Structure formats: structure tokens, C-alpha cells
């Protein structure tokens, strides 16, 4: 009797597991979908340990999910049995808390024709995770343009991954280096383009190759660049700063984004076309205090700065539905040139996300709204409203101010 039950149990588990396998796609609107459900990826490179705890004893992945995060960038890119087993823990944790993993393949995504053993390992890794309910997408070689990585091995690696797993995209993250053309040659190796950009440093802006703008508004500049790299057709995944080597190496001053800076960078990236966001450096030990180092993640920065930002854009926020649609075609204009904004429409609600990138304050007038709108509320600014008359409203902006208007 036992011999008959066990095989049936195995079959049932395999069938059940397959039923929960994911498929991640992105249509012409450049909005991601997982199994037909729209999602705005908000994640961390890298997240807390899969079984790690917050200072209050809660599971770390659970804490991220409850704040509204949706993704984890996992994997060290050095694949062996131990790394596969560790990744399995992340996948299980992601599935448990309703999240998905962006798995870093690293150099394993670059295969030469005669590297049959590495090709077999790549297929093993892909086959191991492609049907896991906690899996979302692959990340290939990091910053290939800056590293002058040859394109042909990346193309072969992408063909192998696509052949083994046609249901999940490859994400390509570039450094803030190079030109649009020099980065564009790597586009055929992925379905998603993006860049990392970390403006906070002493002196400011050392991560960028451009010195004409050393302000945090360079985040918007690089988002624009990556949109051009993808020719306005590929989704853009931007990586923003918690901490990085430019503030943690010996001789460097350890500085972090403030809440206002992190919030500005987040919204500016979205306004300028980011379809997904990662926050880099929560796992950098040199940037942690002693308590956080013992816990394996920068919970101090999370609680003071990043959690409030994620809560504003996360999947439990009133703004989140607006992140799951393309920009509206409403002819809305602003009368101040350094105001960046985007407009999203969800049902009978119109969301205007706006930020000011340059120094100085200004009274800004938005026009072109539907004439039947009389007023609107400002999300995350309790008690604040704007009066709308003849499709026009005005508000005050200082440098790096962000206002989110919700108009009915």
C-alpha cells in the first residue's frame, strides 16, 4: 500500500507545483504582468537573508512584502550546488510572501560555443527555478558595456535561456557609462534594459560619467538615456541607491540618501519612464551599524528612509494602480520648464506625479485637465488640496519637491 501511495503523492506534488508556475510578460505598454496580473517590480539588491529577521523578530522578507515591495534580486552569480540550494530558500520565501525573484545569472549568462559544461550548468539552473512560484525573471551579466563584454557569448547565453525557459524575460542592467549606441548593441541579449545610478557621495555625483549635473536629478537623466537605449520600446528597470562602494571604500565618507532625496529619486525615475525599481546596497556590511550587521541587512536605513518611500508606491498604496498603466494622452502642460511630470488615468481618477529638479522655488500651473474636475487631493500630504478651474490648477514647488495629485 505504501509503495502505491508514495508515487501518487509525488505525482500530485509535481502537478500542483506546475500549476503554480509563473509566466512574466511585458506588452507594448511596457507594464509587466505575472500570470496575467499587472505588477510594478519594486525590489532590493540584495534583500535580507531568506530566513533573516528584522530587529523586532519578524521575517525580513515578510517585512518587505508588507511594506508593498514585490521583488527580490537574488543570486550571487557563482553557481554551484550550494548556491542553488541557497537560491531555493529565497524562492520559497518569495512565494510564501507573495513576491518574486529576479535571479542573477552573472557570467553564467555568457556562453561560448565550446563551453558545453557551462552550458549544461546554465540549463540546470534555469530548469531548477523556471517553474517556481517565487520566480520572476533572469538578470544576466552585470554592466556589460562598461566591462566591454563581448556580445556573441551573451547572445548564445540568451538563446539557451530562452530555449529552456520561454516564459520569463532577461533583464540587462548597465553602468552609468558609455553612449546610447554603445549600450544599444547589447539590447538583443535581453528583453528589459536599465541602469544603476548612485548620486549621493562626497563629492556628489562621482558615480556618473557626466559632470554637468551632479545633483540627484541625474537619476532622471539616466532613466531618459535608458529609454533611448531601448528605443522607447523596451521596459526600463532602474537601480537606485542605498549604499555603494563610492561611500564605503577606505577613504570615502559614508553618506546615505535622506528621505526627501530617496523619495525624489524614486518618483523622478517613474516620471521619466522607469517600469521597475531596485534599491541597491541594503546588504553592504560596511554601511551597517553593529546591530544591523548581525542581522544581515540595513534595517536602520529601511525604517528611517526606504520603508516610507516603498509604502507610497508599493502594491498596497493608493498610487499603485496608476503605476500599472501607461502614461495618459491627456494634453496636460506645466508652465515651468524644470518641472518633470507624468499623468496616469485609472478609471475616473487622474494622477499627476510631478517633481522639481533644479534649484529655486516656483509657483507652477498645470493646464489641460478635463474641464469637469473641480478639485484634487495631494497624496501623502494630509489635508492638502488644489482647486481646479477650467482644467487648470497651481501649486508651489521647491527644489526636489515631489507632489502627487489625485483628481476625480
Q: What is the mean pLDDT of residues 295-304?
A: 98
Q: What is the mean pLDDT of residues 242-262?
A: 97
pLDDT digits (tens, 9 = 90+) for 31-81: 999 999 999 999 999 999 999 999 999 999 999 999 999 999 999 999 999
39 shares its domain with 70: yes
Can you tell me the distance from the alpha carbon of 239 to that of 268, in angstroms, rounded to the nearest whole number?
A: 13
Number of domains in the chain: 2
Q: What is the mean pLDDT of residues 309-329?
A: 98
Domain extent for 401: 333-407
Residue 29 has pLDDT above 50, yes or no: yes
Q: What is the mean pLDDT of residues 239-263?
A: 97
297 shares its domain with 344: no
Q: Domain boundary residue among 324, 359, 378?
A: 324
pLDDT of residue 21: 72
70 shares its domain with 137: yes
pLDDT digits (tens, 9 = 90+) for 372-393: 999 999 999 999 999 999 999 9
Q: Domain boundary residue among 296, 324, 352?
A: 324
Contact status, residue 71 vs residue 278, Cβ threshold 8 Å: yes
How remote is the C-alpha of 101 from its chain's centroid? 11
Supply the CATH number for residue 401's domain.
2.60.40.1180
pLDDT of residue 1: 40
Q: Please name the residues in contact with 43: beta carbons below 8 A apart, sequence gap of 6 or more.
A: 69, 70, 71, 72, 73, 102, 276, 277, 278, 279
Task: Tell which residue, 263, 267, 276, has the closest CA to residue 230.
Answer: 276
Q: What is the mean pLDDT of residues 337-352?
A: 97
- pTM for the model stands at 0.94
pLDDT of residue 377: 97
349 shares its domain with 277: no
pLDDT of residue 9: 35
Supply the CATH number for residue 106's domain.
3.20.20.80
259 shares its domain with 351: no
Residue 236 has pLDDT above 60, yes or no: yes
pLDDT band at 19 (very low <50, low <70, confident <90, very high): very low
Can you tell me the distance from the alpha carbon of 237 to that of 123, in angstroms, rounded to the nearest whole number?
A: 25
Residue 4 has pLDDT above 60, yes or no: no
pLDDT band at 279 (very low <50, low <70, confident <90, very high): very high
pLDDT of residue 20: 60
172 shares its domain with 256: yes
Residue 244 has pLDDT above 60, yes or no: yes
235 shares its domain with 367: no
Residue 12 has pLDDT above 80, yes or no: no
pLDDT of residue 243: 98
For all residues of the chain together, what is the average pLDDT? 94
279 shares its domain with 384: no
Q: Domain boundary residue among 306, 324, 342?
A: 324
72 shares its domain with 181: yes
Amino acid at each position: 500500500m505504501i509503495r502505491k501511495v508514495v508515487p501518487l503523492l509525488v505525482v500530485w506534488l509535481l502537478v500542483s507545483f506546475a500549476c503554480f508556475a509563473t509566466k512574466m510578460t511585458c506588452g507594448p505598454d511596457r507594464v509587466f504582468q505575472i500570470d496575467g496580473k499587472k505588477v510594478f517590480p519594486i525590489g532590493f539588491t540584495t534583500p535580507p537573508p531568506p530566513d533573516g529577521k528584522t530587529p523586532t523578530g519578524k521575517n525580513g522578507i515578510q517585512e518587505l512584502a508588507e511594506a508593498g515591495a514585490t521583488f527580490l534580486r537574488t543570486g550571487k552569480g557563482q553557481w554551484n550546488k550550494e548556491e542553488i540550494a541557497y537560491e531555493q530558500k529565497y524562492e520559497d520565501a518569495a512565494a510564501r510572501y507573495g513576491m518574486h525573484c529576479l535571479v542573477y545569472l552573472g557570467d553564467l549568462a555568457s556562453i561560448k560555443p565550446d563551453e558545453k559544461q557551462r552550458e549544461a550548468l546554465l540549463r540546470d539552473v534555469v530548469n531548477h527555478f523556471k517553474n517556481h512560484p517565487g520566480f520572476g525573471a533572469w538578470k544576466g551579466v552585470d554592466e556589460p558595456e562598461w566591462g566591454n563584454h563581448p556580445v556573441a557569448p551573451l547572445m548564445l547565453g540568451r538563446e539557451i535561456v530562452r530555449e529552456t525557459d520561454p516564459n520569463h524575460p532577461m533583464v540587462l542592467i548597465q553602468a552609468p557609462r558609455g553612449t546610447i549606441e554603445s549600450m544599444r548593441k547589447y539590447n538583443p541579449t535581453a528583453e528589459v534594459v536599465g541602469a544603476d545610478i548612485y548620486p549621493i557621495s562626497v563629492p556628489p555625483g562621482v558615480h556618473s560619467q557626466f559632470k554637468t549635473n551632479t545633483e540627484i536629478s541625474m537619476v532622471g537623466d539616466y532613466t531618459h538615456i535608458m529609454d533611448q537605449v531601448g528605443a522607447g520600446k523596451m521596459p526600463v528597470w532602474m537601480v537606485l541607491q542605498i549604499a555603494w562602494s563610492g561611500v564605503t571604500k577606505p577613504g570615502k565618507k559614508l553618506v546615505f540618501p535622506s528621505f526627501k532625496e530617496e523619495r525624489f529619486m524614486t518618483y523622478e525615475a517613474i516620471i521619466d519612464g522607469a517600469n521597475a525599481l531596485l534599491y541597491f546596497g541594503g546588504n553592504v556590511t560596511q554601511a551597517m551599524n553593529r546591530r544591523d550587521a548581525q542581522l544581515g541587512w540595513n534595517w536602520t536605513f529601511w525604517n528611517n528612509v526606504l520603508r516610507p518611500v516603498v509604502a507610497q508606491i508599493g502594491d498596497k498604496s493608493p498610487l499603485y494602480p496608476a503605476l500599472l498603466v501607461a502614461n495618459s494622452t491627456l494634453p496636460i502642460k506645466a508652465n515651468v520648464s524644470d518641472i518633470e511630470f507624468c499623468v496616469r488615468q485609472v478609471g475616473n481618477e487622474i494622477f499627476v506625479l510631478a517633481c522639481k529638479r533644479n534649484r529655486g522655488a516656483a509657483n507652477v500651473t498645470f493646464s489641460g485637465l478635463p474641464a469637469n474636475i473641480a478639485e484634487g487631493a495631494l497624496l501623502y500630504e494630509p489635508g492638502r488640496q488644489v482647486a481646479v478651474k477650467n482644467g487648470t490648477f497651481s501649486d508651489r514647488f521647491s527644489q526636489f519637491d515631489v507632489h502627487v495629485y489625485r483628481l476625480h
